[in-house]
Amino acid sequence: MRLYRVTWVDEAWPRLQPWDPFHPLHLPVDRQGAGRFDNPHRYVALYGATSPTAAVGEAFGNSALWKPGEVARAKEGHPRCLVTIDVDEAIVLVDLDDAQTLVDLGLRPSDVVRRNRDRTQEVALRLWLEGEATRPHGVRWRSYWRPEWEVVTLWSAGLEPPWFPLATVTSVVELSVASAPVIAAADVLPRQLDTST
């Protein structure tokens, strides 16, 4: 499976450990908790999308105007990038867009679709707490911004690194308002793209 995420990356990231700040797979654990499927007292959650356009849309969807300075905004000198991640096909994801899966879990579509983080985090914790041998690696569902976009959350086995040994970074590309995925996402949502310099 191939996933994409938007994050800040150190240009020297190949020399970093995946849990080091500004590695493409790094996650600031102390800032987790607001995500739909977070439970930071149990695991680390990595959010991605199955297309570059969806990853950009998820990152910037809350803003009506996408300005060059925001899309390309650096953090502590590190550029904002689109990261491509290949995930081992052995991972098991719970498909929360599948009707039979929802029935089997005793869930209603509204348990997943609504932006009720308390409920979705409760669902995530229940799934994660399954026995280690049968525990899924995460969930997949449809984007709030555009149902055609598929998004994925991967869960670590615990809080100690390495968090995602089945994930490999294959590409890191700096973002700008001229990036094809940014243009496509702005067009699809739609959002106003400020291309002035």
Tens-place pLDDT, residues 56-113 = 999 999 999 999 999 999 999 999 999 999 999 999 999 999 999 999 999 999 888 8
Q: Where are the alpha helices (DSSP H) in 5-137?
A: 52-60, 68-71, 99-105, 109-113, 117-128
Range of the domain at 104: 2-193
Answer yes or no: is pLDDT of 197 > 70.
no
pTM: 0.95
Mean pLDDT for all residues in the chain:
95
Q: Domains in the chain: how many in total?
A: 1
Give me 80's structure tokens.
């904002």
Residue 95 confidence (pLDDT): 96
Counted residue by residue, the chain has a size of: 197
